[in-house]
């Protein structure tokens, strides 16, 4: 044990240690001052400028936040519609996250003594799964059905693995993903694997009914039920049709031949900014003059104006028009908030234990200094220890900042042909805030056409 003398040099040395510790701890988190400008570029659909700024900011993430950088960059490329490049970055993130899944004892010890910012960021459990979700959408957009299905299955497996490490009464609330099941149904259907499509649609409907509705208030979208009924009809599953129609009596469905001969347009609308992770803490003054600080993260939701999108398509050779709206399929913000709340007891238990360890260490060091160099030295160590404990006790508020708050989806069945159109983005009062043109496209019978949009208003 190093003693602390009564001289000014001892006091300066003590202060230097505190400042160095403070500087080191603050340097653990990635710099975030570029995000406002990146968001503005996304708002303006200037993705080239956003990507340049992200690349220029890479050094601010440091090695322990490498996965976070690749997640952000990959999602930015995804929003830009550059799916191949998005895959490159998301695969890098996936590799790092997999390597970090089993953490080293030394890193765990560092996080216990200081804070969780000292260890590499491996993402919230839902973030880890969403990497595979966006990879699947990328492959679907590229027309690579089998690759998209591989990523969809990996997402499902990822959630199973994560929850297998928790006791039955501690499993995460986010344990299944309904949107990825719907996407799998679409992909199976495109390969004429109707039985697998039915299974995926049925599973998606069950997740909405038994999980998403009670936990997030999200109902099964109408078109999901339509696809489920249509696939059941194609397979002759009449009992299942009766059971489903009892749950959704108002929903009719296209006949299998109609679906098979139509183009299925799927518009994926990423809406709003996801919630921000911020620090909350409480300080407990102890009777012996010491203080104990406990810090923990919470998600703070953000406001935005757009509630949904309305899509208008025109078949250019006939002039026939089609109009449909997006429905909420994935409430990422609600998943983030509830998933973190779900494990808050674990987070706070660790934070309390860490704060207690710092308190006991400071108290012991103060007593040793008092015994060796007198009461003033002991008091200085106590003050220094209190400051160091408070400074180093910081919540881990790293998170995937570019995630949207919602994934909304619109679906329409249209005849094969050449199309143009536009998407209007609507607020709660029914006002169209702005519109965007859809690049003209041609689609053939049985084709699945994916269109993605990002809004932040």
Question: What CATH number is attached to the domain comprising 232?
Answer: 1.25.40
Q: Are residues 163 and 180 in the same domain?
A: no
Lowest mean pLDDT among 7-21, 294-308, 419-433: 7-21
Helices (H), 252-309: 256-261
Q: Are residues 420 and 445 in the same domain?
A: yes
Backbone angles phi, psi at 424, to 5 degrees: -105, 135
Nearest to 432 by CA among 328, 322, 272, 307: 307
Q: Are residues 230 and 324 in the same domain?
A: no
Tell me if 2 is assigned to some domain: no
**Confidence band (pLDDT; 50, 70, 90) for 64?**
confident
Q: Residue 256: its pLDDT value, please?
A: 92
Look up residue 119 and give its DSSP letter.
Answer: S
Give yes or no for residue 170 having a pLDDT over 70. no
Q: Residue 382: its pLDDT value, please?
A: 63
Tell me if 74 is assigned to some domain: yes
Q: Are residues 448 and 307 in the same domain?
A: yes
Tell me if 137 is assigned to some domain: yes
Give yes or no for residue 394 having a pLDDT over 80. no
Q: Are residues 212 and 287 in the same domain?
A: no
Residues 126, 299 contacting (CB under 8 angstroms): no
Tell me if 356 is assigned to some domain: yes
Tell me if 1 is assigned to some domain: no
Q: Are residues 326 and 274 in the same domain?
A: yes
Q: Are residues 165 and 268 in the same domain?
A: yes
**Which of 210, 241, 261 is the last residue before a domain boundary?**
261
Range of the domain at 188: 176-261
CA 422 to chain centre: 28
Q: Are residues 221 and 307 in the same domain?
A: no
Q: Are residues 335 and 445 in the same domain?
A: yes
Backbone angles phi, psi at 390, to 5 degrees: -70, -40
Tell me if 22 is assigned to some domain: yes
pTM for the full predicted model: 0.85
Q: Residue 21: its pLDDT value, please?
A: 47
User: How confident is the model over 23-30, as a mean pLDDT?
Assistant: 52
**Confidence band (pLDDT; 50, 70, 90) for 20?**
very low
Q: Are residues 303 and 238 in the same domain?
A: no
Q: Are residues 137 and 240 in the same domain?
A: no
CA 97 to chain centre: 14
Structure tokens at 213: 């509705």
User: How confident is the model over 130-152, as a mean pLDDT?
Assistant: 94
Nearest to 453 by CA among 389, 392, 406, 388: 406
Mean pLDDT score of the chain, rounded to an integer?
84
User: How confident is the model over 380-384, as a mean pLDDT?
Assistant: 65
Number of domains in the chain: 2
| Residue positions counted in the chain | 457
User: How confident is the model over 357-379, as a mean pLDDT?
Assistant: 66
Look up residue 422 and give its DSSP letter.
Answer: E
Tell me if 443 is assigned to some domain: yes
Q: Are residues 284 and 389 in the same domain?
A: yes
Lowest mean pLDDT among 118-127, 174-183, 385-394: 385-394
User: How confident is the model over 397-404, as a mean pLDDT?
Assistant: 93
Give yes or no for residue 255 having a pLDDT over 60. yes
User: How confident is the model over 71-98, as a mean pLDDT?
Assistant: 95
Lowest mean pLDDT among 309-313, 354-358, 394-398: 354-358
Nearest to 218 by CA among 142, 379, 332, 99: 332
Report the percent of the chain where pLDDT is more than 90: 59
Give yes or no for residue 109 having a pLDDT over 80. no
Tell me if 448 is assigned to some domain: yes
**Which of 202, 230, 261 is the last residue before a domain boundary?**
261
**Confidence band (pLDDT; 50, 70, 90) for 59?**
confident
Nearest to 174 by CA among 224, 225, 212: 212
**Which of 215, 243, 261 is the last residue before a domain boundary?**
261
């Amino acid at each position: 044990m190093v003693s602390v003398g009564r001289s000014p040099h001892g006091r300066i040395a003590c202060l230097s240690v505190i400042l160095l510790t403070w500087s080191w701890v603050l340097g653990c988190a990635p710099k975030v001052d570029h995000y406002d400008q990146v968001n503005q570029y996304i708002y303006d659909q200037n993705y080239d400028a956003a990507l340049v700024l992200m690349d220029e900011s890479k050094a601010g993430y440091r090695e322990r936040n490498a996965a976070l950088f690749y997640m952000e960059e990959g999602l930015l490329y995804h929003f830009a519609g550059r799916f191949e490049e998005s895959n490159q970055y998301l695969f890098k993130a996936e590799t790092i996250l997999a390597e970090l899944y089993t953490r080293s004892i030394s890193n765990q010890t560092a996080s216990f003594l200081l804070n969780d910012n000292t260890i590499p960021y491996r993402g919230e459990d839902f973030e880890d799964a969403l990497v595979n979700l966006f990879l699947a959408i990328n492959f679907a957009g590229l027309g690579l059905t089998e690759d998209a299905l591989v990523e969809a299955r990996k997402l499902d497996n990822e959630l199973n693995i994560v929850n297998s490490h928790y006791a039955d009464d501690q499993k995460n609330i986010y344990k299944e993903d309904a949107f990825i099941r719907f996407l799998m149904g679409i992909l199976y259907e495109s390969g004429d694997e109707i039985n697998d499509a039915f299974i995926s649609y049925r599973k998606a409907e069950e997740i909405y009914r038994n999980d998403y509705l009670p936990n997030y208030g999200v109902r099964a979208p109408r078109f999901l039920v339509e696809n489920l009924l249509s696939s059941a009809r194609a397979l002759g599953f009449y009992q299942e049709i009766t059971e489903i129609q009892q749950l959704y009596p108002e929903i009719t469905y296209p006949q299998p031949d109609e679906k098979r001969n139509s183009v299925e347009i799927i518009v994926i609308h990423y809406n709003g900014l996801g919630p921000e992770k911020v620090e909350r803490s409480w300080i407990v003054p102890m009777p012996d003059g010491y203080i104990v600080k406990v810090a923990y993260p919470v998600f703070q939701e953000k406001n935005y104006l757009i509630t949904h999108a309305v899509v208008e398509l025109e078949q250019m050779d006939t002039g026939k028009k089609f109009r449909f709206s997006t429905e909420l399929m994935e409430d990422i913000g609600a998943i983030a908030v509830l998933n973190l709340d779900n494990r808050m007891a674990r987070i706070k238990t660790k934070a309390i234990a860490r704060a207690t360890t710092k308190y006991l260490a400071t108290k012991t060091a103060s007593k040793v200094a008092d015994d060796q160099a007198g009461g003033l030295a002991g008091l200085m160590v106590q003050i220094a220890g209190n400051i160091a404990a408070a400074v180093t006790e910081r919540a881990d508020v790293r998170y995937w900042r570019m995630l949207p708050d919602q994934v909304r989806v619109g679906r329409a069945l249209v005849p094969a042909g050449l199309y143009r159109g536009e998407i209007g983005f609507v607020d709660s009062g029914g006002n169209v805030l702005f519109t965007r043109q859809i690049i003209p496209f041609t689609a053939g019978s049985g084709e699945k056409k994916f269109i993605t949009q990002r809004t932040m208003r």
